[in-house]
Structure 1
């Protein structure tokens, strides 16, 4: 009888926690919570779409979490990777990260979309405290199907080299170029922005940037946009 009463009390505690948990938040483990209100990303063709998952360590001790991508369904011309704190290679499906006591981190599955064709895709990830179970299973989506315009893509009017690059890259323009050249990481953050005037060649130093995939966006003084992709070694 004592065991039955004990099990009933445990049931009440677990049930009460489930009822009180806010909408948009999961908690497979008692040591962390997940905020999922931004996991359905939308944008225009050519955008880096982020579907961030916020994880909060609710304890006074740090621990490792394990992130595993168990499914990826995206258009052939898209790629997808994890970003935290830098973007990893698209083929990396599993990783482990340390979370300090009471720290909140953002894990950002990323969709690198096609610059012309609209589409949609999704990835399914599992998150758990390392060595513990059960895990939270989360589906993150990305879509450009609702875009109303197609970004101008005229990358053939310029050449980027070397690619991959290590310490610097160069752009050779087929026509004289004046405008701003931006280096954008896969979180969509502008890492470098430089203005150049009446240039046929442009050189940018990038040794300080983490390895990964970047978008080079060239915006002319006439607001024409040229997009190039760069791999930083």
Structure 2
């Protein structure tokens, strides 16, 4: 009888040990669905964070694309904690996320004149813990921005690609506009005020890659992408 009891107890302990429920290791913020309105030829940037809830351990996250209705003619860049990709890949594994930090998916979209609603959804989970899986969605309503198109035509930016200097030419009515150079992760590289006429901006120190020149004018915002190449 004692022998049978011992075997039964061991079986119960083995069952409990094998069915341990793993706690959720990350939290989604600001929400599982992020929405934005974008105008044709204007850039929109959206981010969903995955906060590491493990007090002392790194968080290893993986993601996969579920659905994607973004227009093929749009300029689309997706970044995660570890890299940036042109278009929407089928999936990736992020770099390990340190404690008290967060992984993320960051979507940058510039619609063209092919406007309308669109969205892209992803599955995100901790590697080895499928029970932690969540679904997140970026939803965009792209509208025709006639005013933005006309404004963009008034701002000349050249050469593109740029090697040493990036030149901007503004009409008198746009004098005093604020120029901000950002990388594709949305980090500000530099900013300055532009006068009317031609202004040259030194981009020699920028690493090779793609950047956004954002011009805040009295009549609205103009976003132009440029490539830095040595």
Scaled by the length of structure 1, the TM-score of the pair is 0.68
> Aligned pairs, how many?
212
Once the two structures are superposed, what CA deviation does each residue of 1:109-130 show, in whole Å capped at 9, x if it has no partner? 3041326554332223343444
1:42 to 36, 42, 45: 36
Report SS of the residue matched to 1:155. helix
The equivalences for 1:1-233 within 5 A come to: 1-2=8-9, 3=11, 7=15, 14=21, 30=23, 32-38=25-31, 39-45=33-39, 46-62=42-58, 64-69=60-65, 71-84=67-80, 88-91=84-87, 93=89, 94-100=92-98, 102-114=99-111, 118-130=115-127, 132-134=128-130, 136-144=133-141, 152-153=148-149, 154-173=151-170, 175-176=171-172, 177-179=174-176, 180-188=178-186, 190-199=188-197, 201-209=198-206, 212-220=209-217, 222-223=218-219, 225-233=221-229
Q: 1:117 to 1:215 in 2, by over 3 A?
A: farther
CA distance in structure 2 between the partners assigned to 1:183 and 1:226 by the alignment: 12
Report SS of the residue matched to 1:75. coil
CA distance in structure 2 between the partners assigned to 1:89 and 1:33 by the alignment: 23
| Contact 2:123/2:133, CA 8 A, preserved across alignment | yes
| Contact 1:48/1:188, CA 8 A, preserved across alignment | no
Structure 1 or 2, whichever has the larger Rg, is 2
Once the two structures are superposed, what CA deviation does each residue of 1:78-133 show, in whole Å capped at 9, x if it has no partner? 23333356872314732431222x22214133041326554332223343444x24
CA distance in structure 1 between the partners assigned to 2:30 and 2:75 by the alignment: 23
- By how many angstroms is 1:50 displaced? 0.5
- By how many angstroms is 1:194 displaced? 1.3
- Which ranges in structure 1 are unaligned for 5 or more consecutive residues? 15-28
| Contact 1:152/1:226, CA 8 A, preserved across alignment | yes
CA distance in structure 1 between the partners assigned to 2:223 and 2:187 by the alignment: 15
Report SS of the residue matched to 2:73. coil
| Contact 1:122/1:139, CA 8 A, preserved across alignment | no
Backbone CA RMSD of aligned residues: 3.7
CA distance in structure 1 between the partners assigned to 2:214 and 2:68 by the alignment: 27
Larger displacement relative to structure 2 (39-48 or 182-191): 182-191
Scaled by the length of structure 2, the TM-score of the pair is 0.69
